[in-house]
Protein backbone atom coordinates (compact mmCIF):
# COMPACT_ATOMS: atom_id res chain seq x y z
CA UNK A 1 0.00 0.00 0.00
CA UNK A 2 1.43 3.41 -0.98
CA UNK A 3 1.43 6.42 1.31
CA UNK A 4 -1.89 8.25 1.50
CA UNK A 5 -0.44 11.70 2.17
CA UNK A 6 3.01 13.18 2.68
CA UNK A 7 3.47 16.80 3.71
CA UNK A 8 6.95 18.34 3.93
CA UNK A 9 7.36 21.90 5.13
CA UNK A 10 10.13 24.28 6.18
CA UNK A 11 9.26 25.90 9.50
CA UNK A 12 8.60 29.63 9.42
CA UNK A 13 10.28 30.20 12.80
CA UNK A 14 13.20 27.81 12.64
CA UNK A 15 13.75 27.13 8.95
CA UNK A 16 14.00 23.42 9.83
CA UNK A 17 12.30 20.87 7.58
CA UNK A 18 9.52 18.89 9.23
CA UNK A 19 7.18 16.33 7.72
CA UNK A 20 4.16 14.13 8.33
CA UNK A 21 3.30 10.93 6.48
CA UNK A 22 -0.23 9.53 6.71
CA UNK A 23 0.16 6.01 5.40
CA UNK A 24 -3.41 4.84 5.95
CA UNK A 25 -6.63 6.08 7.52
CA UNK A 26 -8.57 2.95 6.55
CA UNK A 27 -9.21 2.02 10.19
CA UNK A 28 -9.27 5.53 11.64
CA UNK A 29 -7.10 8.63 12.14
CA UNK A 30 -3.39 7.97 11.65
CA UNK A 31 -1.29 7.75 14.80
CA UNK A 32 2.46 7.63 15.15
CA UNK A 33 5.41 9.11 16.96
CA UNK A 34 7.28 12.32 16.26
CA UNK A 35 10.95 11.54 15.52
CA UNK A 36 13.54 14.30 16.00
CA UNK A 37 17.06 13.55 14.81
CA UNK A 38 19.91 14.69 12.59
CA UNK A 39 19.72 13.37 9.03
CA UNK A 40 22.48 13.63 6.40
CA UNK A 41 19.90 14.63 3.76
CA UNK A 42 16.24 15.61 3.73
CA UNK A 43 15.60 12.64 1.42
CA UNK A 44 16.88 10.32 4.17
CA UNK A 45 14.27 11.80 6.51
CA UNK A 46 11.54 11.35 3.89
CA UNK A 47 12.53 7.72 3.39
CA UNK A 48 12.43 7.24 7.15
CA UNK A 49 9.01 8.79 7.68
CA UNK A 50 7.55 6.71 4.84
CA UNK A 51 8.93 3.44 6.23
CA UNK A 52 7.89 4.26 9.78
CA UNK A 53 4.35 5.29 8.82
CA UNK A 54 3.86 2.04 6.89
CA UNK A 55 5.02 0.08 9.94
CA UNK A 56 2.49 1.95 12.09
CA UNK A 57 -0.32 0.88 9.76
CA UNK A 58 0.66 -2.76 10.26
CA UNK A 59 1.16 -2.27 13.98
CA UNK A 60 -2.28 -0.77 14.55
CA UNK A 61 -4.00 -3.30 12.32
CA UNK A 62 -2.44 -6.36 13.96
CA UNK A 63 -3.04 -4.97 17.45
CA UNK A 64 -6.74 -4.48 16.71
CA UNK A 65 -6.74 -0.70 17.04
CA UNK A 66 -9.25 1.50 15.26
CA UNK A 67 -6.51 3.83 14.07
CA UNK A 68 -4.41 4.12 10.95
CA UNK A 69 -0.68 4.49 10.54
CA UNK A 70 1.28 7.70 10.42
CA UNK A 71 4.57 9.21 11.48
CA UNK A 72 6.25 12.57 11.65
CA UNK A 73 9.89 13.53 11.42
CA UNK A 74 11.82 16.66 12.29
CA UNK A 75 14.89 16.58 10.05
CA UNK A 76 17.69 18.33 11.89
CA UNK A 77 21.02 19.20 10.33
CA UNK A 78 22.57 19.93 13.73
CA UNK A 79 21.69 19.54 17.40
CA UNK A 80 19.62 22.60 18.36
CA UNK A 81 19.84 24.80 21.44
CA UNK A 82 16.92 24.72 23.88
CA UNK A 83 15.47 27.90 22.34
CA UNK A 84 15.85 26.57 18.81
CA UNK A 85 14.27 23.27 19.84
CA UNK A 86 11.16 25.04 21.06
CA UNK A 87 10.83 26.99 17.80
CA UNK A 88 11.27 23.77 15.81
CA UNK A 89 8.60 21.99 17.83
CA UNK A 90 6.16 24.89 17.40
CA UNK A 91 6.75 24.79 13.64
CA UNK A 92 6.07 21.07 13.65
CA UNK A 93 2.94 21.60 15.73
CA UNK A 94 1.63 24.04 13.10
CA UNK A 95 2.12 21.36 10.44
CA UNK A 96 0.23 18.79 12.54
CA UNK A 97 -2.56 21.30 13.20
CA UNK A 98 -2.94 21.96 9.47
CA UNK A 99 -3.97 18.32 8.96
CA UNK A 100 -7.13 18.80 11.09
CA UNK A 101 -6.85 15.57 13.08
CA UNK A 102 -5.84 13.28 10.22
CA UNK A 103 -2.60 12.63 12.13
CA UNK A 104 -2.20 12.27 15.91
CA UNK A 105 1.32 12.59 17.31
CA UNK A 106 3.12 10.94 20.20
CA UNK A 107 6.76 10.68 21.33
CA UNK A 108 9.38 8.77 19.37
CA UNK A 109 13.17 8.76 19.06
CA UNK A 110 14.42 12.18 20.16
CA UNK A 111 11.16 13.38 21.73
CA UNK A 112 9.29 12.82 24.97
CA UNK A 113 6.24 13.94 26.95
CA UNK A 114 7.64 17.44 27.57
CA UNK A 115 7.99 17.92 23.82
CA UNK A 116 4.39 16.79 23.37
CA UNK A 117 3.43 19.57 25.76
CA UNK A 118 5.07 22.11 23.44
CA UNK A 119 3.24 20.65 20.44
CA UNK A 120 0.01 20.86 22.44
CA UNK A 121 0.36 24.65 22.58
CA UNK A 122 -0.53 24.74 18.87
CA UNK A 123 -2.57 21.57 18.31
CA UNK A 124 -4.82 19.28 20.39
CA UNK A 125 -3.86 16.26 18.27
CA UNK A 126 -1.18 14.98 20.63
CA UNK A 127 -0.84 11.96 22.93
CA UNK A 128 1.41 11.23 25.91
CA UNK A 129 1.44 14.61 27.60
CA UNK A 130 3.12 14.53 31.03
CA UNK A 131 0.88 12.95 33.64
CA UNK A 132 0.57 16.20 35.57
CA UNK A 133 -0.94 17.73 32.44
CA UNK A 134 -3.53 14.99 31.95
CA UNK A 135 -1.65 12.60 29.69
CA UNK A 136 -0.17 9.16 30.23
CA UNK A 137 3.44 10.34 30.05
CA UNK A 138 6.12 8.04 28.70
CA UNK A 139 4.93 4.85 27.00
CA UNK A 140 8.28 3.11 27.56
CA UNK A 141 6.99 0.92 30.38
CA UNK A 142 3.96 -0.40 28.46
CA UNK A 143 6.12 -0.90 25.37
CA UNK A 144 8.40 -3.12 27.46
CA UNK A 145 5.38 -5.03 28.80
CA UNK A 146 4.36 -5.78 25.22
CA UNK A 147 7.85 -6.96 24.26
CA UNK A 148 7.91 -9.30 27.26
CA UNK A 149 4.49 -10.64 26.26
CA UNK A 150 5.74 -11.40 22.74
CA UNK A 151 8.92 -12.85 24.21
CA UNK A 152 6.95 -15.36 26.28
CA UNK A 153 5.23 -16.67 23.16
CA UNK A 154 8.50 -16.77 21.25
CA UNK A 155 10.30 -18.57 24.07
CA UNK A 156 7.69 -21.30 24.21
CA UNK A 157 8.02 -21.77 20.45
CA UNK A 158 11.83 -22.01 20.57
CA UNK A 159 12.62 -23.45 24.00
CA UNK A 160 9.37 -25.16 25.00
CA UNK A 161 8.73 -22.84 27.94
CA UNK A 162 8.84 -19.16 28.83
CA UNK A 163 11.24 -19.49 31.76
CA UNK A 164 13.91 -16.76 31.66
CA UNK A 165 15.91 -17.88 34.69
CA UNK A 166 19.41 -18.83 33.58
CA UNK A 167 18.87 -17.78 29.97
CA UNK A 168 21.25 -15.30 28.35
CA UNK A 169 19.61 -12.23 26.84
CA UNK A 170 21.41 -9.54 24.83
CA UNK A 171 19.68 -6.16 24.66
CA UNK A 172 20.99 -3.90 21.90
CA UNK A 173 20.04 -0.41 23.03
CA UNK A 174 19.80 0.71 26.65
CA UNK A 175 17.39 3.59 26.25
CA UNK A 176 14.18 3.92 28.25
CA UNK A 177 12.54 0.78 26.83
CA UNK A 178 15.78 -1.20 26.91
CA UNK A 179 16.32 -0.27 30.54
CA UNK A 180 12.80 -1.44 31.45
CA UNK A 181 13.40 -4.73 29.65
CA UNK A 182 16.80 -5.25 31.30
CA UNK A 183 15.36 -4.67 34.76
CA UNK A 184 12.41 -6.98 34.14
CA UNK A 185 14.48 -9.81 32.70
CA UNK A 186 17.20 -9.54 35.33
CA UNK A 187 14.45 -9.72 37.93
CA UNK A 188 13.37 -13.03 36.37
CA UNK A 189 16.89 -14.41 36.75
CA UNK A 190 18.11 -13.93 33.18
CA UNK A 191 21.77 -13.25 32.43
CA UNK A 192 21.38 -9.83 30.80
CA UNK A 193 24.01 -8.24 28.55
CA UNK A 194 23.42 -4.74 27.16
CA UNK A 195 25.02 -2.54 24.52
CA UNK A 196 24.54 1.09 23.56
CA UNK A 197 26.33 3.78 21.57
CA UNK A 198 26.09 6.10 24.59
CA UNK A 199 28.85 5.41 27.11
CA UNK A 200 26.85 7.08 29.87
CA UNK A 201 24.04 4.58 29.40
CA UNK A 202 26.52 1.70 29.58
CA UNK A 203 27.89 3.16 32.81
CA UNK A 204 24.33 3.24 34.19
CA UNK A 205 23.83 -0.37 33.14
CA UNK A 206 27.01 -1.43 34.93
CA UNK A 207 25.76 0.31 38.07
CA UNK A 208 22.69 -1.92 37.82
CA UNK A 209 24.94 -4.98 37.84
CA UNK A 210 24.50 -5.73 34.12
CA UNK A 211 27.19 -6.91 31.74
CA UNK A 212 27.97 -4.49 28.90
CA UNK A 213 29.51 -4.87 25.45
CA UNK A 214 30.23 -2.46 22.55
CA UNK A 215 27.34 -2.19 20.04
CA UNK A 216 29.31 -3.82 17.24
CA UNK A 217 29.61 -7.01 19.29
CA UNK A 218 25.98 -7.37 20.36
CA UNK A 219 24.68 -9.42 17.42
CA UNK A 220 27.55 -11.88 17.52
CA UNK A 221 27.31 -12.87 21.18
CA UNK A 222 26.19 -16.45 21.79
CA UNK A 223 22.89 -16.04 23.63
CA UNK A 224 19.40 -17.43 23.92
CA UNK A 225 17.59 -14.20 23.04
CA UNK A 226 18.54 -11.04 21.17
CA UNK A 227 16.45 -7.94 21.78
CA UNK A 228 16.95 -5.09 19.26
CA UNK A 229 15.94 -1.99 21.21
CA UNK A 230 17.74 0.82 19.39
CA UNK A 231 17.66 1.93 15.75
CA UNK A 232 16.22 0.12 12.73
CA UNK A 233 17.98 -1.50 9.81
CA UNK A 234 19.79 -3.95 12.08
CA UNK A 235 19.36 -7.09 9.99
CA UNK A 236 20.41 -7.36 6.38
CA UNK A 237 20.86 -10.35 4.03
CA UNK A 238 24.41 -11.01 5.27
CA UNK A 239 23.86 -10.27 8.98
CA UNK A 240 24.99 -13.04 11.29
CA UNK A 241 22.92 -13.52 14.45
CA UNK A 242 24.08 -15.79 17.25
CA UNK A 243 20.75 -16.14 19.11
CA UNK A 244 17.88 -18.46 18.05
CA UNK A 245 15.18 -15.99 19.13
CA UNK A 246 14.99 -12.31 18.16
CA UNK A 247 12.25 -10.09 19.56
CA UNK A 248 12.44 -6.40 20.34
CA UNK A 249 10.91 -2.92 20.21
CA UNK A 250 13.16 -1.27 17.59
CA UNK A 251 11.15 -0.23 14.53
CA UNK A 252 11.95 -1.40 10.99
CA UNK A 253 14.61 -3.88 12.08
CA UNK A 254 14.98 -5.48 8.65
CA UNK A 255 16.70 -3.70 5.76
CA UNK A 256 14.20 -5.51 3.53
CA UNK A 257 11.26 -7.82 4.22
CA UNK A 258 13.03 -10.67 2.40
CA UNK A 259 15.50 -10.81 5.31
CA UNK A 260 12.76 -12.50 7.38
CA UNK A 261 13.06 -15.60 5.20
CA UNK A 262 16.87 -15.45 5.44
CA UNK A 263 16.70 -15.48 9.22
CA UNK A 264 14.18 -18.33 9.21
CA UNK A 265 16.44 -20.36 6.90
CA UNK A 266 19.22 -19.98 9.46
CA UNK A 267 16.98 -21.35 12.22
CA UNK A 268 16.35 -17.98 13.83
CA UNK A 269 12.84 -17.07 14.97
CA UNK A 270 12.34 -13.36 14.33
CA UNK A 271 9.13 -11.92 15.74
CA UNK A 272 7.99 -8.95 13.61
CA UNK A 273 8.90 -5.66 15.23
CA UNK A 274 5.48 -4.13 14.59
CA UNK A 275 3.95 -6.94 16.68
CA UNK A 276 6.45 -6.89 19.55
CA UNK A 277 6.59 -3.10 19.83
CA UNK A 278 2.84 -2.42 19.90
CA UNK A 279 2.50 -2.21 23.69
CA UNK A 280 3.08 1.52 23.89
CA UNK A 281 0.47 2.54 21.34
CA UNK A 282 -2.03 -0.04 22.64
CA UNK A 283 -1.68 1.30 26.17
CA UNK A 284 -1.69 4.99 25.25
CA UNK A 285 -4.75 4.78 23.00
CA UNK A 286 -6.52 2.59 25.52
CA UNK A 287 -6.03 5.18 28.23
CA UNK A 288 -6.39 8.41 26.28
CA UNK A 289 -8.82 7.50 23.48
CA UNK A 290 -10.95 4.86 25.21
CA UNK A 291 -10.76 5.94 28.87
CA UNK A 292 -9.47 2.58 30.10
CA UNK A 293 -7.97 2.35 33.54
CA UNK A 294 -4.28 1.56 33.87
CA UNK A 295 -5.10 -2.04 34.75
CA UNK A 296 -7.45 -2.45 31.78
CA UNK A 297 -4.93 -0.95 29.37
CA UNK A 298 -2.09 -3.15 30.63
CA UNK A 299 -4.36 -6.19 30.31
CA UNK A 300 -4.92 -5.24 26.69
CA UNK A 301 -1.15 -4.95 26.16
CA UNK A 302 -0.71 -8.43 27.61
CA UNK A 303 -2.95 -9.84 24.84
CA UNK A 304 0.03 -9.33 22.51
CA UNK A 305 1.26 -12.66 23.88
CA UNK A 306 -1.77 -14.41 22.39
CA UNK A 307 -1.47 -12.43 19.14
CA UNK A 308 2.16 -13.52 18.84
CA UNK A 309 1.33 -17.13 19.65
CA UNK A 310 -1.31 -17.28 16.93
CA UNK A 311 1.06 -15.73 14.38
CA UNK A 312 3.77 -18.26 15.28
CA UNK A 313 1.31 -21.16 15.16
CA UNK A 314 0.13 -20.06 11.72
CA UNK A 315 3.69 -19.75 10.46
CA UNK A 316 4.48 -23.25 11.70
CA UNK A 317 1.32 -24.73 10.21
CA UNK A 318 1.72 -23.00 6.84
CA UNK A 319 5.48 -23.35 6.49
CA UNK A 320 5.78 -19.58 6.24
CA UNK A 321 7.46 -16.86 8.30
CA UNK A 322 5.96 -14.93 11.22
CA UNK A 323 6.30 -11.80 9.08
CA UNK A 324 4.16 -13.31 6.32
CA UNK A 325 1.48 -14.33 8.81
CA UNK A 326 1.53 -10.98 10.61
CA UNK A 327 1.23 -9.19 7.26
CA UNK A 328 -1.68 -11.44 6.30
CA UNK A 329 -3.41 -10.59 9.58
CA UNK A 330 -2.89 -6.87 9.02
CA UNK A 331 -4.09 -7.05 5.43
CA UNK A 332 -7.20 -9.01 6.41
CA UNK A 333 -8.21 -6.34 8.87
CA UNK A 334 -7.38 -3.48 6.52
CA UNK A 335 -9.47 -5.14 3.82
CA UNK A 336 -12.45 -6.17 5.89
CA UNK A 337 -12.25 -3.94 8.94
CA UNK A 338 -12.85 -7.06 11.04
CA UNK A 339 -11.28 -7.43 14.44
CA UNK A 340 -8.13 -9.58 14.46
CA UNK A 341 -8.27 -12.82 16.39
CA UNK A 342 -7.13 -11.50 19.75
CA UNK A 343 -8.89 -11.64 23.11
CA UNK A 344 -10.40 -8.52 24.67
CA UNK A 345 -9.76 -8.14 28.41
CA UNK A 346 -13.03 -6.27 28.98
CA UNK A 347 -15.22 -3.76 27.26
CA UNK A 348 -13.84 -0.21 27.36
CA UNK A 349 -15.75 2.67 28.79
CA UNK A 350 -17.27 5.24 26.43
CA UNK A 351 -14.57 7.04 24.47
CA UNK A 352 -13.94 10.65 25.33
Q: pLDDT for 232-249, tens place per residue?
A: 899 999 999 999 999 999
Among 168-177, 275-284, 343-352, which stretch is predicted with the lowest mean pLDDT? 343-352
Burial class of residue 281 (count of CB atoms within 10 Å of its CB; 0-12, 13-18, 19+) = buried
Is 59 a residue whose pLDDT tops 50?
yes
Tell me how far apart the alpha carbons of residues 138 and 141 are, in angstroms, rounded to a whole number: 7
Quick one: pLDDT at residue 339? 46
Confidence band for 337, pLDDT divided at 50, 70 and 90 = low
User: What is the rounded average pLDDT of the residues 128-138?
Assistant: 96
CA gap 83, 145 in Å, rounded: 35
Active-site annotation holder among 26, 37, 59, 71 = 71
Q: For residue range 21-36, what is the model confidence (pLDDT) as tens digits?
A: 999 999 999 999 999 9
Give tens-digit pLDDT for 60-118: 999 999 999 999 999 999 999 999 999 999 999 999 999 999 999 999 999 999 999 99
d(CA 26, CA 61): 10
How far is Cα 65 from Cα 19, in angstroms, rounded to an integer? 24
Report CA dihedral (247, 253, 257, 261) to the nearest 10 degrees.
-40
Express as a percent the part of the chain with pLDDT over 70. 95
The per-residue pLDDT for range 261-306, each reduced to its tens digit, is 999 999 999 999 999 999 999 999 999 999 999 999 999 999 999 9
Question: CA–CA separation, 305 vs 120, rounded Å?
Answer: 34
Contacts of 281 (CB under 8 A, 6+ apart): 31, 56, 59, 60, 63, 65, 67, 106, 139
Q: Rounded to an integer, what distance in angstroms lies between the CA atom of residue 123 and that of residue 105?
A: 10
- Kindly indicate the confidence band of residue 336, based on its pLDDT and cuts at 50, 70 and 90: confident
Q: Mean per-residue pLDDT for 144-173?
A: 98
Catalytic status, residue 71: yes
CA-closest candidate to residue 313, choices 330, 326, 300: 326
Confidence of residue 352 (pLDDT cuts 50, 70, 90): very low
Percentage, residues of the chain above pLDDT 90: 94
Among candidates 84, 2, 88, 93, which has minimal Cα distance to 51? Answer: 2
Residues 85 and 60: their CA atoms lie apart, in Å, by 30
Which is it for strands 68-76 and 168-172: parallel, antiparallel or unpaired?
unpaired
With a cut of 50, say whether residue 139 has pLDDT above it. Answer: yes
Question: What's the rounded mean pLDDT across residues 178-182?
Answer: 97
- Beta-carbon contacts of residue 35 (< 8 Å; ≥ 6 apart): 48, 49, 52, 71, 72, 73, 74, 108, 109, 110, 111
Are the C-beta atoms of residues 251 and 34 closer than 8 Å to each other? Answer: no
Q: What angle do CA 174, 180, 181 make, to 5 degrees?
A: 80
Amino acid sequence: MSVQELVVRRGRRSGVTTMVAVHSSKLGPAVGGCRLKVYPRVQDAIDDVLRLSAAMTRKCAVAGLDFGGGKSVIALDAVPTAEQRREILLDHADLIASLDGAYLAGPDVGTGPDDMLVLHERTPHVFCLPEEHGGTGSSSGPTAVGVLAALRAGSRAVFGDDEMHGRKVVISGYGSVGAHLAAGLAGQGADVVVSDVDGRRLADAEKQGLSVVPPEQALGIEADVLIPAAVGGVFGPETEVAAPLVVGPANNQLTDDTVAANLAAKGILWIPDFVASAGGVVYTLGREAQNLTHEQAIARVETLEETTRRILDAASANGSTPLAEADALAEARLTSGAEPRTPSPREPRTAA
